[in-house]
Amino acid sequence: MTEPDRPEPVPDALADLARAKGVDTWYRAADGTGKPVSRTTLTRVLAALGVDASTPEAVRQSLAQHRRDQASRLLPPCVVARAGRPARLEVGPDTRIVVDLENGDSRDVPAGEPGEPGPRTLPTDLPLGYHTLRASSADGWVTTPLIVTPDGIPTPERRGWGFATQLYSVLSDRSWGMGDLGDLKSLVHWSGSALGADFVLINPLHAMLPAAHSDHSPYWPSSRYFADPVHLRVDAVPEYAALAGEDRATADGLAERADRLRERVLSGDDLIDRDVAWQLKRAALQLLHRVPPASERLDSYREYVAREGQELTDFATARALAEVHGPDWRTWPGPLRHPASPAVRAERERLAGEVEFHRWLAWLVDGQLADAHTAAEDAGMSVGVVHDLAVGVHPGGAEAWALQDCLATGVDAGAPPDAFSAQGQNWRLPPWRPDALARTGYAAYAGLLRRVFRHAGAVRLDHVMGLFRLWWIPEGSGIGEGTYVRYDPEAMLGVLALEALRAGVYVIGEDLGTVESGVRDELAARGVLGTSVLWLTRESTASGEEDPDGAIVPAHRWRRQCLATLTTHDLPSSASWLSGDHVELRHRHGLLSAPLAEEQRAAGLLRRTWLDEVARAGCATEDADDDTARLVSLHRYLARTPSVLLAAWLPDVVSDVRSPNLPGTSGSYPNWQLPVSDAHGRPVTLDQLRTAPLARELAAALAPAAVTGGTR
């Protein structure tokens, strides 16, 4: 990491160019002061947007070209209009405008008064969808995408509660070393039918890099378009029952090895190892792939392949190429580094069998995701499975390879230093290029949302503030030497609303940390729920951002349109927070920004403040000094808030002290590899979670009327 640049005076022309391209020239730091962005940062971020600002002359020429493009463009790169609202186009009076609707129909846009210049108003009764605008010019027709979006997304009509967990951490006696989609079906059936839960929120199930690697984070996937087949319940694939002879014997041997893998995890001898689990599952699935499917399954597979189209082909091709040339496409032979190259087409033909295998795997996962969604509906859940959408992808993975023309290179997405993370965060994710999204009619973004929404009752968007702006960090620079790049929120939120409405899902935005003033209001206006975490819920600063040093917010003043919870996967477990052990843990890993004793005093004061507030609100139990009783009391307090969704952390039902992830560590803490465990660190099974008395107590605390004799 380099030393931070000294802020340099930014020439007016460079500042004008940056603003024209949506690049901020200053930002508000955690202390509330404005911080200028250096000339070096602006130059490198503009380069990532394809704009040359390397010299004063280059800046002058780029700015002049931008202005010429703006003046000569007949239509904008993309037009986004809300249904029922007028949208205006600045065009000449004699220009003919036609809307080609996505259903194949066309409509003329009425002309203005003869001889009068624009603007022209699009019809307010255009149907929702992805259309095309055509405008006549001296050289023929000019086209641009037109997206007609709804005002917002429906929100839950009544309050609901559910569990949140990391799926891989919830093992049953049928798991092959990690929790799977069969376990998810069992989890939604139990929590919905027996406890009256309305949802289960799980970690992202996105496809990971197809080779062993050190980072198991579900928030650093290879592709978000398709789920990882490591989550498959192998023996639930219909072809499994048809195995015979030598293949049956081989499959039985693999299942026995999977049993031993599971037992080592549940005994505490081993951590969850998705790579080993995948080796076993892959071998078994290769056997199943050779079994001729029933005719109706073959028809279903063909329909799936046709529906998923080029995106599926690119994904399967990337997976096949990775197995031959390595997991990171940036190290592949040059001709293979772009999906449209002739070399890729030739290699796809040579590896046709492997490509087909990966298409088939994607279809299997899609089917089991559908089964889990159906199981949630059958259990009476009003929301169902809540999937999680990561904010970005691994730069060397399948999605970055397939969509490289829409992603910025030479920069990483992250978050600047703030009161919640003194060092800031570099997520090592290539951000969307806002100009490329607009130019392509937001097709890649819409396609991603469509797939993640397909088998969900709701979807959580990680770092939802990224729909407005993202912190771009030039490669090799310090985290603080980045700047914000702006996106078109009308387009980003509009496409989100359109896809959510069509899929019939709710959307939950993870809006924790630094949130620009007005963002939460705009999200709420569009129907996107926020996220409120008890430990972090504080009064706002003058700029509208949450103040970590501010007073706590009493229950009656919490947001209604949000998901309320005690903790998340990136924060201490509830048991650890109540005991104070999380401070010592962070101290051991060098993550404290103040001396240990000072941090312990601050944590103790915060804990006492919240417990006093819980008691004042009348939510404390009789045994108020017992941590288990305190945990129930805190959930009772959550139920006092007006928040429409309430989540309990599933490991809390066995007083698990460990968090799935300790941000800021790499290798020194077993991030994303821990099974759900009890207060003594002993792993527990899904069956043991079902019988944990605290599960029913937390259910009763969050929804007192939901549990009556074991049924809803």
Distance CA 565, CA 652 (A): 12
Whole-number percent of the chain with pLDDT over 70: 93
pLDDT bucket at 539, cuts 50 / 70 / 90: confident
The pLDDT of residue 624 is above 70: no
Q: How far, in whole angstroms, is CA 1 from its chain's centroid?
A: 27
- Per residue in 433-485, pLDDT (tens digit) is 999 999 999 999 999 999 999 999 999 999 999 999 999 999 999 999 999 99
Distance CA 262, CA 277 (A): 9
| Token representation of residue 224 | 């978000």
Task: Give CA angle at 300 (299, 303), nearest 5°.
Answer: 85
The pLDDT of residue 710 is above 90: no
Q: Are 572 and 659 in contact, with CB atoms under 8 Å apart?
A: yes
| Token representation of residue 425 | 């965060």
- Per residue in 552-606, pLDDT (tens digit) is 899 999 999 999 999 999 999 999 999 999 999 999 999 888 999 999 999 999 9
- Residues 6 or more apart whose CB falls under 8 angstroms from that of 295 comprise none
Amino acid at 250: T
Greater pLDDT, 518 or 91: 518
Q: Is the dihedral of CA 400, 405, 407, 408 positive or negative?
A: positive
Q: What is the mean pLDDT of residues 367-385?
A: 98
Which of 427, 390, 383, 377 is closest to 563 using CA atoms? 383
Say which DSSP state 430 is in. P
pLDDT of amino acid 706: 44
The pLDDT of residue 387 is above 90: yes
Q: Are 193 and 712 in contact, with CB atoms under 8 Å apart?
A: yes
Tokens 């055509």 correspond to 134
Question: In Å, how far are 251, 288, 409 from 292, measured between CA atoms?
Answer: 17, 9, 44
The pLDDT of residue 240 is above 60: yes
Q: If DSSP states are collapsed to H, E and C, what string results for 88-149? A: EECCCCCCCEEEECCCCCEEEECCCCCCCCCCEEECCCCCCEEEEEEEEECCEEEEEEEEEE
335-349, 411-425, 592-606, 656-670: which has the highest mean pLDDT?
335-349
Query: pTM here?
Result: 0.94
Amino acid at 307: R
Which of 708, 533, 692 is closest to 610 using CA atoms? 533
- Per residue in 150-208, pLDDT (tens digit) is 999 999 999 999 999 999 999 999 999 999 999 999 999 999 999 999 999 999 999 99
Q: Are 78 and 88 in contact, with CB atoms under 8 Å apart?
A: no
pLDDT of amino acid 461: 98
Q: Residue 380: phi, psi to the nearest 5?
A: 85, 15
pLDDT bucket at 396, cuts 50 / 70 / 90: very high
Residues β-bridged to residue 461: 389, 509
Give the three-class secondary structure for 548. Answer: coil
Give the three-class secondary structure for 221. Answer: coil
Distance CA 415, CA 417 (A): 7
Q: Residue 604: phi, psi to the nearest 5?
A: -65, -40
Greater pLDDT, 516 or 346: 346
Instruction: Using CA atoms of 386, 534, 152, 444 in order, give the dihedral in degrees to the nearest 10.
Output: -50
Half-sphere exposure of 379 (CA within 13 A, CB side): 29
Burial class of residue 369 in the structure, from the number of CB atoms within 10 Å of its CB (0-12 exposed, 13-18 middle, 19+ buried): buried
Distance CA 467, CA 153 (A): 15
pLDDT of amino acid 4: 44
Helix, strand and coil content of the chain, in percent to the nearest 5, comes to: 45, 15, 40
Alpha helices per DSSP H over 543-626 = 574-579, 581-588, 596-616
Average pLDDT, the chain: 92
| Token representation of residue 579 | 């005991």
Burial class of residue 406 in the structure, from the number of CB atoms within 10 Å of its CB (0-12 exposed, 13-18 middle, 19+ buried): buried
Distance CA 152, CA 523 (A): 9
